[in-house]
Structure 1
Amino acid sequence: MKAIIIGATGATGQELVQQLLDNPDYSQVTVFVRRAVPLQHPKLTVEVIDFDRPQTWLHKVRGDVLFSCLGTTLKAAGSKAAQWKIDYQYQYDFANIARQNGVQRCVLVSSGYADSRSRFFYTQMKGQLEQDIMQLGFPQLLIFRPPSLIRPNTDRAGERWAIRVLNGLNKIGLLQSMKPMPTAVLASALIQAVKQKPLGTFILESAEIWALAK
């Protein structure tokens, strides 16, 4: 199969790229990025694009499965409008183009508690993205709602603190459904879901994600 990835430079995306390159089921891995990446591999194609100018790259979005892992934080983006552009608009536009080009499968990394009716900006945004991508008509659509992620060498103080708290609660049997998940585990589950799930739309929560990764 031929994989397409956006968000390949993020923590989950980097794990996913490496696992796909090591996976014999995939003959080609194409990543669409805003800046060049140092990784080289016979199966890897790197497309450096301007997400704001889809007319310059839409013809290149071709393959069997789209993995959509793009995302940022409000702090990094600088404003809600900027975060919406990256987390919602770029992902929706790319998925729309992929579907128009005949891509049959889409794997979307969303968020725990995603809900278009949420009072909270982030979960509302993710829920809206889920709903709108569902309307594109992918024969296989896999939406992942992972718990807090353990990113290698993260510099996010709030994330490190939350993971420590959750790990402590997990040890005494509390909040097991929110057990923090290493990005390598999530990446493995993304790949396994494409192979194991039939056609249709599936929303995968924490417990099923862990099970797929095993």
Structure 2
Amino acid sequence: MRPDPILPSGIRTNGIVVPRGPLMLPTGVAAQSRGVPACLLQSHVPQSRPGPGNSPGSRPPAALRSSGAGGGGRSCFVLGASGETGRVLLRELLARRAFARVTLIGRRRLSLGEAAAAAVEQVVVDFERLGEHAAAFQGHDVGFCCLGTTRAKAGADGFVRVDRDYVAQAAELAWAGGCKHFVLQSSRGANPQSRFLYLRVKGEVENLVQAVGFDHCTILRPAVLLCKRQESRPMEWIAQQFLGAVARLFPTAYSVPVEMVARAMVACVLQPGEGKVKVLENRAIHELGNAMPQQGT
């Protein structure tokens, strides 16, 4: 087993790494007791709240079933529903009727089909003042986070702000609002000690989300996502063409279809299991996604 990574100038607390200093928060966000993650204000990991929860099992089951009509009365929210994984995840959630209520939290309203629009609630928030939108995170059993941007699109500072700061604060608001299970899309190779900004930020946000204190926290680390992006990324398109061919010989080694990631995200909250924190590497994502029957099968 690999030792837990340690953030620069960080400390290890019960297997979770928490930075000593305060995290850079978005401009305009007040450092209130619930506006800033507790893990950023203290050097200990908050105790989880009592109560039942769902988490992925140690092995993917032979078959996973939908929770049925109404989703058993449970509620979830999705951050990043406009992205590649988020859009497919929303389709999965609605098709499987996994939750009685699905809320999309984002910076703008999305144009959805008539059926989807009637089945979800959309809440528009200002991520620069996320602490003012605590109500959006109230009353959800599960939180799915696919939020992210790129350095090319937002610059280095913008990338850190979105992929780390926004996610960390959203996780704390979700925990304060009663969320029991937080599911985070991260990246293969995430490591807070990495020399590469992307992998370092992903590693840092993983540690911060774990330290919030959810009953269950599932982190998915997919390799290169195979999908048809709406925005143009020429180098990534070339890589996808190559890896798509390689995947025929080594399907779980270097890439994963975005549909597989979305199915795994849903499966990990539908299948009961043990463990407070679960990290799914690329192969495990394939296995769990394959265990979830596709719609219509």
**TM-score for both structures, normalised by structure 1:** 0.93
Cα distance in 2, alignment partners of residues 68 and 167 from structure 1: 26
Deviation at 1:194, TM superposition (A): 1.1
Structure 1 regions of 5+ residues with no counterpart? none
Q: Which runs of 4+ in 1 moved over 4 A?
A: 173-176
Query: Which of 245, 252, 260 is residue 185 of structure 1 equivalent to?
Result: 260
1:22 aligns with 2:95: yes
What whole-Å deviation, never above 9, does each CA across 1:40-91 have from its counterpart, x for those lacking one? 43330000110111243112202010001001111111x2111001111111
What is the match of residue 71 of structure 1? 148
What whole-Å deviation, never above 9, does each CA across 1:4-32 have from its counterpart, x for those lacking one? 11101001001111111122231110011
Whether the aligned pair in 2 keeps the contact of 1:65 and 1:103 (CA below 8 Å) is: yes
Cα distance in 1, alignment partners of residues 225 and 87 from structure 2: 14
Q: If you compute each CA radius of gyration, which structure gives the higher value, 1 or 2?
A: 2
Secondary structure of the residue aligned to 1:119 is coil
Cα distance in 1, alignment partners of residues 234 and 207 from structure 2: 31
Whether the aligned pair in 2 keeps the contact of 1:109 and 1:145 (CA below 8 Å) is: yes
1:108 aligns with 2:184: yes
Moved more, 50-59 or 99-108: 50-59
Whether the aligned pair in 1 keeps the contact of 2:88 and 2:259 (CA below 8 Å) is: yes
What whole-Å deviation, never above 9, does each CA across 1:94-129 have from its counterpart, x for those lacking one? 001101111100000000000001111100000000
Query: CA 1:60–1:169 in structure 2 vs 1: closer, same or farther (change >3 Å)?
Result: closer
Secondary structure of the residue aligned to 2:218 is strand
Cα distance in 2, alignment partners of residues 23 and 169 from structure 1: 31
1:142 aligns with 2:215: no
Amino acid at match of 2:187: S
Secondary structure of the residue aligned to 1:177 is coil
What is the match of residue 124 of structure 1? 200
Cα distance in 2, alignment partners of residues 204 and 184 from structure 1: 15
Amino acid at match of 1:15: V
Greater relative contact order, per chain length (Cα 8 Å cut-off, separation 6+): 2
Cα distance in 2, alignment partners of residues 176 and 189 from structure 1: 14
Structure 2 regions of 5+ residues with no counterpart? 1-73, 291-297
Deviation at 1:174, TM superposition (A): 5.8
The structure that is helix-richer by fraction is 1
What whole-Å deviation, never above 9, does each CA across 1:124-160 have from its counterpart, x for those lacking one? 0000000111111111100000010022245211111
Whether the aligned pair in 2 keeps the contact of 1:64 and 1:104 (CA below 8 Å) is: yes
Cα distance in 2, alignment partners of residues 103 and 182 from structure 1: 28
Query: Which of 198, 223, 242 is residue 165 of structure 1 equivalent to?
Result: 242
What whole-Å deviation, never above 9, does each CA across 1:152-192 have from its counterpart, x for those lacking one? 24521111111222234444x468511x2221111111000
Tell me the percent identity: 29
Secondary structure of the residue aligned to 1:106 is strand
Whether the aligned pair in 2 keeps the contact of 1:166 and 1:175 (CA below 8 Å) is: no
Whether the aligned pair in 1 keeps the contact of 2:252 and 2:283 (CA below 8 Å) is: no
Cα distance in 1, alignment partners of residues 131 and 246 from structure 2: 49
Cα distance in 1, alignment partners of residues 251 and 137 from structure 2: 40
What is the match of residue 77 of structure 2? 4
Cα distance in 1, alignment partners of residues 250 and 261 from structure 2: 22
| Two-structure CA RMSD over aligned residues (Å) | 1.6
What is the match of residue 123 of structure 2? 47
What is the match of residue 88 of structure 1? 164
Amino acid at match of 1:10: G
